[in-house]
Amino acid sequence: MISFVWAEDKNHIIGVDGHLPWKLPNDMKRFKDVTTGHPIVMGRKTFESFPNGPLPNRLNIVISRNSNYQVPKSVVLITDKAELTEHVSADEEIMVIGGEGIFRLFQNDVDRLYLTKIDHEFVGDTKMVEIDYSKFDLVEKKEGIVDDKNIYPYTFETYQKI
Ligand SMILES: NC(=O)c1ccc[n+]([C@@H]2O[C@H](COP(=O)([O-])OP(=O)(O)OC[C@H]3O[C@@H](n4cnc5c(N)ncnc54)[C@H](OP(=O)(O)O)[C@@H]3O)[C@@H](O)[C@H]2O)c1
């Protein structure tokens, strides 16, 4: 099963200058909770945006068109989504975590959406791909806690393909 995990602002912005446009530690925690124990699939640029290298306790799978792209030993490099089946088993929930090009690549395969909606407008250069929500049921919705470390209103939503 393929799942998407992402956070977007009011205008579907997801990134700026190679990083996230916001600081929202509670969303980082949700991301960790949702993805830990599952393979995560990401574009080369998203991988390079991690300040401390590969994310622990998850198989990190990076997609690049450059088959010579150097990744640490624990990380799997693929150059085509067809190679994914060599590294994951059919019953696993595969977490596609972006960016834009990688969401586009899996747009027709996705079964579940883990979305953080941030109720704020940010300056950005990367947008989420269009999702046809009429093909999904909202199965969970939770208001995020706003505090001095998480200053923007946000909602965690989970959708399942009908
Ligand atoms: N808000 C969120 O939830 C979220 C999630 C993820 C990322 N982001 C943000 O989004 C931005 C990065 O996203 P992005 O869209 O610019 O880059 P990206 O999708 O992370 O990476 C793009 C790279 O992936 C490789 N790639 C893309 N399509 C491919 C294909 N069909 N086959 C093989 N390789 C392919 C290419 O690597 P090569 O150039 O090496 O060939 C391409 O340059 C950052 O600002 C990041 O912080 C936000």
- Residue with token string 């624990």: 74
Q: Are strands 154-161 and 2-8 parallel, antiparallel or unpaired?
A: unpaired
Cis peptide before 99 (omega within 30 of 0): yes
Task: Tell me, in angstroms, the distance from the centre of ligand 1 to residue 154's CA.
Answer: 24
Residue 80's pLDDT is 96
Number of domains, the chain: 1
Q: Mind listing the pLDDT tens digit for each residue in 141-160?
A: 999 999 999 999 999 999 99
* Beta-carbon count within 10 A of 25 CB: 10
Which CATH number characterizes residue 82's domain?
3.40.430.10
Residue 35's pLDDT is 98
Give me the domain span that covers residue 92. 2-161
List of the chain residues with pLDDT < 70:
none
Task: Tell me, in angstroms, the distance from the centre of ligand 1 to residue 143's CA.
Answer: 28
Supply the residue whose CA is at minimum distance from atom 25 of ligand 1: 64
Q: Which residues pair with 145 in a beta bridge?
A: none
Q: Which helix (H) or strand (E) holds 47?
A: helix 44-48
Residue 42's pLDDT is 98
State how far the Cα of 78 lies from the Cα of 52, in Å rounded to an integer: 21
Whose CA is closest to 36, among 54, 17, 24, 11? Answer: 54
Q: Is the CB of 101 under 6 A from ligand 1?
A: yes
Q: Which residues, including other chains, have CB under 8 Å from residue 146's CB and lie 6 or more apart? A: 152, 153, 154
